[in-house]
Amino acid sequence: MMEKVIEIKHLNKSFGSHEVLRDVNFSVNKGEVVCLIGSSGSGKSTLLRCINLLETPSGGEIIYKGENILDDQHDIKKYRTHLGMVFQQFNLFNNHNVLKNCTVGQQKVLKRSKEEAAANALKYLKTVGMDQYVNAKPRQLSGGQKQRVAIARALAMDPEVMLFDEPTSALDPEMVGEVLKVMRNLADGGHTMLIVTHEMEFAREVSDRVVFMDKGVIVEEGSPEQVLVNPKHERTKEFLKRTIKQ
Amino acid sequence: MSLDIILSILEENWRSFLNGAYMTLLIAIISTIIGALIGLFIGIMHTIPVRKKSIKSVILKVFNFILTVYVEIFRGTPMIVQAMVVFYGLAAYGVQLDRFIAAIIVVGLNTGAYMAEYVRGGIVSIDKGQYEAAEAIGMGHFQTMTSVILPQVFRNILPATGNQLIMNIKDSAVLSVISVTELFFTSTSIAGANFRFAETFFITCIFYLIMTFVASRILRMIEKKMDGQNAYSVESKREEPIV
Ligand SMILES: Nc1ncnc2c1ncn2[C@@H]1O[C@H](COP(=O)(O)OP(=O)(O)OP(=O)(O)O)[C@@H](O)[C@H]1O
Ligand SMILES: [Mg+2]
């Protein structure tokens, strides 16, 4: 039996009367790479944001290592340190340079010493190929470079799971490759990853499992072969036809 | 107006001019700092996130209402009138304020009322992604504010604070109505004694100009410094660039 890191049960989310997620059930196992695909507006981002509680779910359970983190007394800040989030828009701290972006959380939240934090940050900045830019401010970097730093910032917290919300969608085409390359390496390195992406080719190559969402529900999930090559459901087929045409 | 007269007035009164200028600067600087702190406090209070209908939200609402009233009063009345009300008004109730302290209170509160709006604007203009990124790595509201948001707000409000300082250097002249011995009051006394109004106030002009010019230059330098160098140094290339 594989160890479930995150398990989601009957998750619902509405914005006002608009139901965005309906009875979503799924889990991510340790070491697994899961890609979440689906058309625009299907609720992928909302699901990811519910998982790290940037949005408050309207109902259901989120089980992290056997504990329901939606319980009132659960320490949300601590839970969040176990999840590394990478945003579409990078969201690097504009007032800090590259190194500080990767150390501020370690120091303030994990209470690591400055030296320890810097050493850890450098290790991951090397992983993403940005260790030469420790002194640069975000505004001095290209999109691809920013996103690689954002990945290093998340990794530096030594999370259990990495969450990616369309990490390459805001990038110029020529920079997509460098970010995907970093993510491939992370996947090979055994990181647990949940990735929202429109990069089908990438999803097929790296994921252990692909989850297809439509209109707030999970329609189909399985191996990349099952979902992307031989989908069972009409909606999945349609979606794939549409995306491949583009 | 002749240069000879100007020089002789300067020669006779340079100590008084300097003292007046010193008072003006002191009032402007201290009250700008106080005002910025008040503005910061109000701006932060107005942007604290609270759950609806909690006790905390009610207290905060009442408190913020009071702060709004303060802001409206000080922005909606002339500073010269505020000076009269604070100084003579309090005196009527037996509170005999030192004139200098009264000056600082009036200019400081006035600046605070303006800065509150700048700070609020500076906070809400920060991209939501900055908060989310901070929250996502486990920071609380306080940590997010102190290590991510406020440093960016400081930078954003620096130009407004600088403007306010320059305004305060000039507008503190109205404090002469409560006989604070700043530059304008001093100049009036000097001119009252020598009856050379044009020449005396020409000198006063120069003093004000020097103060505002130097202040704006210093502020520009601080802004530059906060932005850091435009170029960053790339560390010497290491073995493998991307894994
Ligand atoms: N804060 C919000 N308030 C109201 N509605 C929202 C909010 N956030 C998302 N929605 C709605 O929820 C639905 C799902 O949005 P979501 O961003 O999760 O989709 P997505 O699958 O990530 O789409 P995309 O591929 O375009 O990123 C959309 O209809 C969107 O309008
Ligand atoms: Mg999205």
pLDDT tens-place string over residues B142-191: 999 999 999 999 988 999 999 999 999 999 999 999 999 999 999 999 99
Q: Residue B35 domain-assigned? A: yes
> CA of A231, closest CA in chain B: separation in Å?
34
The CATH number for B34's domain is 1.10.3720.10
- pTM: predicted TM-score of the whole model, two decimal places: 0.86
Asked if residue A159 lies in contact with residue A112, where contact means CB atoms within 8 angstroms, the answer is no
Looking from the CA of B227 toward its CB, the CA atoms found within 13 Å total: 14
Q: Is B9 inside any structural domain?
A: yes
Residue B238 lies in a domain: no
Range with the poorest average pLDDT among A163-177, B40-54, B91-105, B138-152: B40-54
> Is the pLDDT assigned to residue B69 strictly greater than 50?
yes
Domain contains B177: yes
C-alpha–C-alpha distance, residues A152 and A47, integer Å: 23
Is the CB of A38 within 6 Å of ligand 1?
yes
Distance of CA B81 to the CA centre of its chain: 19
Tell me whether residues B129 and A134 touch, CB distance under 8 A: no
Q: Is the CB of A42 under 6 A from ligand 1?
A: yes
How much is the ipTM here? 0.93
Closest approach atom of ligand 1 to CA A47: 18
Per CB-CB distance under 8 Å, the chain A contacts of B236 are 132
C-beta contacts of A168-171 below 8 A and 24+ residues apart? A168/A197, A168/A199, A169/A88, A169/A198, A170/A88, A170/A89, A170/A90, A170/A143, A171/A143, A171/A144, A171/A147
- What is the DSSP secondary-structure string of A136-184? --GGGS-HHHHHHHHHHHHHTT--SEEEEESTTTTS-HHHHHHHHHHHH
Per residue in B15-67, pLDDT (tens digit) is 999 999 999 999 999 999 999 999 999 988 888 877 777 888 889 889 999 99
d(CA A118, CA B30): 39
Q: Which ligand is nearest to the CA of A239?
A: 1
In short, whether A46's Cβ falls inside 6 Å of ligand 1 is yes
Confidence of residue B8 (pLDDT cuts 50, 70, 90): very high
Alpha-carbon radius of gyration of chain A: 18
Is B237 inside a domain boundary? no
Q: Verify whether the Cβ–Cβ distance A105 to B138 is below 8 Å.
A: yes
A-chain CB neighbours of B133 within 8 Å are: 85, 87, 91-93, 150
Q: Are B57 and B50 in contact (CB under 8 A)?
A: yes
Residue B140 lies in a domain: yes
How far apart are the C-alpha atoms of A94 and A106, rounded to whole Å?
Answer: 17
Total domains, chain B:
1
Q: Could you tell me the residue range of the domain that residue B83 belongs to? A: 3-226
- Ligand 1 close to Cβ of residue A45 (< 6 A): yes
Q: Please check whether residue B206 lies inside any domain of the structure.
A: yes
